[in-house]
Chain A
């Protein structure tokens, strides 16, 4: 994974084109979907924030979710990951129905999300942030906590894995700092590293590049493609068109809660509806930090 991490900007499709032969139509079926959503709807008062008729995410790809502000991207993330309740619809991950499952159970099933507004655990050290994400810890049970000999070995292994991840994200020398003392961009990196510590099969990143300094964006993109090449599925929300076109295998366009288009980067670039709804208006606008989570 180290070699291709540097040639992100060269872009291009994944070595194996998993999307071969998939038509660029909204709601199209994928050959091997890891996530399937059907009829997912959520409204706030009179506003229908999300109304997705059908959406599938192909396993082992980088899928970008784009759309103007307020399109419902973050809300869709919240719904799929159990952080908000749907009004209607059903969805499944790895063939398992997730309806009604709490956020922690969704995460345990292997689908881990990050938040648009970073949620670093500020008064914990960077290392503790990472360790918190490790699964199946004996010492996290209230009685198990007293049996130090029972969890010490596990803790040591987790520290080792956490430090490897921190190294990858250039945060290793900050490991004993309080997470709240990191810069905004470093917090984004920490949140991403932390989500990987869960050892997920799919990560959902809500605007992972927002506020990250441009020098780091390149390496972040490298990490994301490396994850995909390791077999992980990545679904991410982003505004920067160059980034999206550069690394995505597939792009889903959301507008007013609905999937208005999906396809390969070149399909999306050529799609007049997308250009009208989004690209035309969006280009050149600064990335903004609207409310949402």
Chain B
């Protein structure tokens, strides 16, 4: 087993574009859950409409890439309104049930035969991101230190993705440390109290749902651009649960919680995957097949969450002072 290789691969994944995508989507979830207390179990639905917003605009309708990004933001706003208008006046559980259902229904609709002319059905869409890669300022070659290295293409993608994560984090920090953020956090604690103080709770919850959804959609657009291909089955419900795991791991209700959670989680997942895979290859564990790794990985995420809740419920950088408040 080559520990250095495993370590290098894990670091590459932890700072690579996919980790950034998850960080961005988890930032949206953090606004929903960590600050507003909205239980969104369908963040992947926002990623789906975001990814397809770009892909459909460019591939199907021949629009420029920037218009595709605007379309994906627009789709996220529409989806948030669709989810929020009927449910945000009701008890919290209605939203969560709707989000999980709508995200999954959306995936099924996007992959349906009747949608094939627009979305490409189960085959998805390809070749919509060339404008992005044509703009790559880095010459061909490998960039990195030691065993950690990225191609020029990956580097360009990473800069775009982490750049968006940075912008989103700054936006979140500014919002949360403002009177707007105070209202949002108040709603998390007790929305009736906030309403009794003259705030339009419904409007604030809607703003939070829309904005967090837009972060999710941008993450979806990044997935599409990164892979230069999109299929509906990249947006399975477990993506949302990974996002939740990352958010809780990093610390909900902290600006950098979701970012840290995504990085640490991808690091651990890769270490785990690579270790198991090399063990399977050497045949030390005869019962272990290479194909079992995926299943074991889910089990490990579950175990990690369990340990987290027992030993560090506030997450890695969660606010202990807030956590210790006795919430009746």
- Residues of chain B within 8 A (CB-CB) of A119 are 190, 192-193, 196
> Interface 1/0s, chain B 187-199, versus A by CB < 8 A?
0111011111111
Q: Which residues of A have CB within 8 Å of B234?
A: none
The answer to whether B196 touches A112 (Cβ under 8 A) is yes
Complex: how many Å from CA A104 to CA B193? 10
Stretch at the interface among A9-17, A51-59, A142-150, A261-269: A142-150
Interface majority SS on B: helix, strand, loop or mixed? helix
Contact between chains at B197 and A112 (CB < 8 Å): yes
With both chains docked as a complex, state the minimum distance between the C-beta of B168 and any C-beta of chain A, in angstroms.
14
Is there a chain B Cβ closer than 8 Å to A131's Cβ?
yes
Interface residues of A in 130-180 (CB under 8 A from B): 131-133, 135, 137-142, 144-146, 148, 151, 155, 178, 180
Q: Is there a chain B Cβ closer than 8 Å to A278's Cβ?
A: no
A180 with B197: CB separation less than 8 A: no
In whole angstroms, what is the CA distance A68 to B185 when docked? 36
Q: A140-B180, A180-B325 are in contact. Are A133 and B200 (CB under 8 A)?
A: no
Q: Interface residues of B toward A: which range?
A: 20 to 34
B310 contacts the other chain (Cβ, under 8 Å)?
no
Partner of A121, one of B175, B189, B201, B326: B189
Q: Which of B174, B198, B207, B211 has most A Cβ within 10 Å?
A: B198
Asked if B247 lies at the interface with its beta carbon under 8 angstroms from chain A, I say no
Which of B180, B186, B190, B325 is the one whose CB lies under 8 Å from A142? Answer: B180
In the assembled complex, the Cα of A123 lies from the Cα of B190 at a distance in Å of 10
Nearest-Cβ distance from residue B296 to partner chain A, whole angstroms: 37
Of the listed residues A102, A119, A120, A195, the one surrounded by the most CB atoms of chain B closer than 10 A to its CB is A119
Q: CB-CB < 8 A to A137: which residues of B? A: 179
Determine the chain A residues whose CB is within 8 A of the CB of B322 once the complex forms. Answer: 123, 178
A252 near B: Cβ within 8 Å? no
Chain B CB within 8 A of A103 CB? yes
Q: How many A residues face the partner with a CB closer than 8 A?
A: 45
With a cutoff of 8 Å between Cβ atoms, the chain A residues found around residue B181 in the complex are 145
Which residue of chain B is the closest to A129 with respect to CB atoms? B186
In the complex, what residue of chain A is closest to B198 when comparing beta carbons?
A: A107
* A124 close to B (CB within 8 Å): yes
Interfacial chain A residues near B327, Cβ < 8 Å: 122-123, 180
- The reply on B238 being an interface residue by CB < 8 A is no
Partner of A293, one of B192, B202, B211, B325: B192
A120–B193 CA distance with the chains assembled, in angstroms? 8
Instruction: State whether B196 touches A141 (Cβ < 8 A).
Output: no
Q: Are A151 and B198 in contact (CB under 8 A)?
A: no
Instruction: Give every chain B residue within 8 A of A151 (Cβ-Cβ).
Output: 178-179
Counting CB contacts under 8 A, is A198 at the interface?
yes
User: Of A108, A112, A121, A144, which contacts B194 at CB under 8 A?
Assistant: A121
Q: Does B328 contact A (CB under 8 A)?
A: yes
> Is A30's beta carbon under 8 Å from chain B?
no
- Shortest distance between the CB of A58 and any CB in chain B (Å): 23
B298 within 8 A of A: no
A181 lies within 8 A of chain B by Cβ: yes
Question: Is A113 in contact with chain B by the CB < 8 A criterion?
Answer: yes
Query: What residue in chain B is nearest A180 (Cβ atoms)?
Result: B325
7 A-B pairs besides A145-B178, A178-B325 with CB distance below 8 A are A103-B195, A104-B201, A114-B196, A119-B196, A128-B185, A132-B197, A195-B196
Residue pairs across A and B with Cβ atoms less than 8 A apart, 23 shown, are A83-B192, A102-B195, A103-B192, A104-B196, A104-B199, A104-B200, A107-B198, A112-B197, A113-B196, A115-B192, A115-B196, A119-B196, A121-B194, A122-B328, A123-B185, A124-B185, A124-B189, A140-B183, A144-B180, A146-B175, A178-B322, A181-B325, A181-B326
